[in-house]
Structure 1
Amino acid sequence: MKSDQNLDLLVRSMDAAEQDSQPNPARAQADLARILSSRPIPAAPNSRFEDSRELAKPKANRRRRAVTLGGLAAAVTAGLLVMPALSGGDPAFATWTAAPGTLTGSKRDTAVSDCLNSKQHVGGGMYSTELSTAEVAIAERRGAWVTVVLSGPDGFEATCTTDATAPWFRKGMIGSIGNPSNATALPARGIAATQLGTGAIADKPISIASGRVGTDVVAVTYTSAANEEVIATVAKGQFAFWLPGNEMQNASDQGLPVQVTYTNGTTETQLLNF
């Protein structure tokens, strides 16, 4: 994978659907070998990451796609890993909350460890160095669901959202990893997405937004189609929020209006995009 650096390394989410039978390991390995030896396929626009070693800038609005191999959803460019969410303690997002809670203690440790482990072998371990030095920027919970955002130098970001109540052998994850093309310093009141769009987990749609904020940004909220105020977690220069459903499926093309609050207490609406 490292021999072909002209790839957009972050591919966004895909449907890790339920399966009735076990995948065929030989078939999965053969398919994976075929895909990794082929040229990358453009795909759906939900994230705008690229390898920090990539010199050529991607074209605007380039679309990315991923494929599923025997129950393991593997990105063509190996920039995103989504584990199959076959079932869990909250398959219909019934416990989801618009306001996040904070993960602490052993629950936080487990969520961070699971996220790190899920990313270690992406791209043949090409992000192992970044992961070894990444810090935990966000560790939040929304009902049964936990989200972890890891950050590092040059805009490195890895994200994981999973149902913490699912048994370990059926636990699924949706997330991303990479270095964004918009890693330049943000203005104090700036906000920029690295994930923005709709994917699916356990055959259910989920809309996700995450990225970076400037030093003066202390809060970000989004008013959903149901007129519900979804509160983002903002910490260590990062933000993240998500909600069930597919209402953000066009956000990567159209932008997403969010309410941003600054250190002086003032609030304004900004259009969140890449």
Structure 2
Amino acid sequence: MTRNKDIDTLLRHMDPATEAPPARPQRARTDLEHVLSHDPSPTVRATTTAHRDGSTRPQPATPSIRRRRAVVLGGLVAATTAGLFVVPALAGGDAAFATWTASPVTLSGQDREDAVADCLASNEDVGDGMYAEDLANSEVAIAERRGAWMTVVLTGADGFESTCTTDASAPWFDKGMIGSIGRLGTDADPTPRTLKPTQLGTGMIMNEPISMAAGRAGEDITGITYTSITGEDITATVSAGYFAFWLPGDELQDASDGGSIVTVTYRDGTSETQELSF
């Protein structure tokens, strides 16, 4: 369905002939006029973010329209994608992570293609396009689904990494993305049985906290499990030398300083605990 058709469908859905009259009709008319006249192109000003190696890299600041917040979760630059319109709440979206699952499903087919395309598009303007070539040459290390939520990890030369988590059930004009992007060189390369997180902490998406961990996994590591404070086992995706997992809430807020314990399974079937930390 084209975006014009989407807009037509939504505006018909909002037709007062088929819906109850709004409690604030003037506000509704103002919002609708804003949707029809607003230029969706964000205005971005350059800022910088400090990183664990002492360097600074540019990141996008808040544009003139509403953004979904994404924060630096580790040694990479935060990346965000803007909502296209400022409109009243409409149908769609996974409120409060209601569909989230502790065990991921590997994305395939059209779902995988859509998730990767969204991640590429969300990051193409970061730092005035400074990662455009990295993105164009990147490979997909991880593509997973947890309920309505899709996570993609793109990788490339010189330690390039881009991570995106999005709500696939949200309407296209109101999607949010949380993730990170940057290059870490070879310093983050792990030994066969170690983990080197590049993203670890808590951010916000759709005004809800989300705790995330992602990074490099040694070649002997085949599985990772994190046990939440409520006792739930969260299964990480481990693929192509990378790992990723996330859960709703802010329990990894201080993980980058104090570390967080995970259970790691190795190729020979043995397992042990490791601490995730920078």
Question: What TM-score results when the alignment is normalised by the length of structure 1?
Answer: 0.76
SS in 1 for 2:95: coil
Q: Does 1:193 align with 2:178?
A: no
> What amino acid does structure 1 have at the position aligned with 2:140?
V
Task: Report which of the two has the higher share of helix.
Answer: 2
Q: Give the CA deviation at 1:58.
A: 1.1
Tell which structure's C-alpha radius of gyration is larger: 2
> What amino acid does structure 2 have at the position aligned with 1:72?
R
Partner of 2:146: 142
Measure, in 2, the Cα distance between the counterparts of 1:94 and 1:271: 29
Contact 1:223 1:230 (8 Å CA) reproduced: yes
Q: 1:239 to 1:262 in 2, by over 3 A?
A: same
Q: Give the CA deviation at 1:41.
A: 5.8
SS in 2 for 1:116: helix
Contact 2:70 2:178 (8 Å CA) reproduced: no
Contact 1:65 1:76 (8 Å CA) reproduced: no
Please list, as runs of the form range in 1=range in 2, the aligned pairs for 1:84-163 lying within 5 A after superposition: 84=82, 88-163=92-167
Q: Does 1:68 align with 2:62?
A: yes
SS in 2 for 1:68: coil
Please list, as runs of the form range in 1=range in 2, the aligned pairs for 1:186-265 lying within 5 A after superposition: 186-265=190-269
In structure 2, runs of 5+ residues without a counterpart are 1-29, 84-88
Partner of 2:17: none
> What amino acid does structure 1 have at the position aligned with 2:190?
L
Measure, in 1, the Cα distance between the counterparts of 2:196 and 2:106: 23
Deviation string for 1:246-266 (max 9, x for gaps)? 000000110111111100011
Q: 1:181 to 1:251 in 2, by over 3 A?
A: farther
SS in 2 for 1:96: coil
Q: Does 1:83 align with 2:81?
A: yes
CA-based RMSD of the aligned residues comes to 3.1
Contact 1:41 1:76 (8 Å CA) reproduced: no
> What amino acid does structure 1 have at the position aligned with 2:237?
T
Where relative contact order (Cα < 8 A, 6+ residues apart) is larger, the structure is 1
Q: Give the CA deviation at 1:131.
A: 0.9
Measure, in 2, the Cα distance between the counterparts of 1:178 and 1:257: 25
Measure, in 1, the Cα distance between the counterparts of 2:127 and 2:206: 24
Q: Give the CA deviation at 1:67.
A: 5.0
Measure, in 1, the Cα distance between the counterparts of 2:248 and 2:70: 23
Measure, in 2, the Cα distance between the counterparts of 1:190 and 1:182: 15
Q: Give the CA deviation at 1:68.
A: 2.9
Partner of 1:58: 54
Contact 2:260 2:276 (8 Å CA) reproduced: yes
In structure 1, runs of 5+ residues without a counterpart are 1-19, 43-47, 50-56
Q: 1:180 to 1:41 in 2, by over 3 A?
A: closer
Measure, in 2, the Cα distance between the counterparts of 1:237 and 1:264: 17
Contact 1:65 1:75 (8 Å CA) reproduced: no
Matched residues, percent identical? 50
Measure, in 1, the Cα distance between the counterparts of 2:60 and 2:212: 17
Please list, as runs of the form range in 1=range in 2, the aligned pairs for 1:22-61 lying within 5 A after superposition: 29=43, 32-33=44-45, 36=46, 40=48, 57-58=53-54
Contact 1:137 1:235 (8 Å CA) reproduced: yes
Q: 1:75 to 1:267 in 2, by over 3 A?
A: closer
Question: Would you say how many aligned residue pairs link Structure 1 and Structure 2?
Answer: 234
- Residue of 168, 172, 192 corresponding to 2:172: 168
Contact 2:105 2:145 (8 Å CA) reproduced: yes
Q: Give the CA deviation at 1:182.
A: 6.3
Contact 2:59 2:126 (8 Å CA) reproduced: no
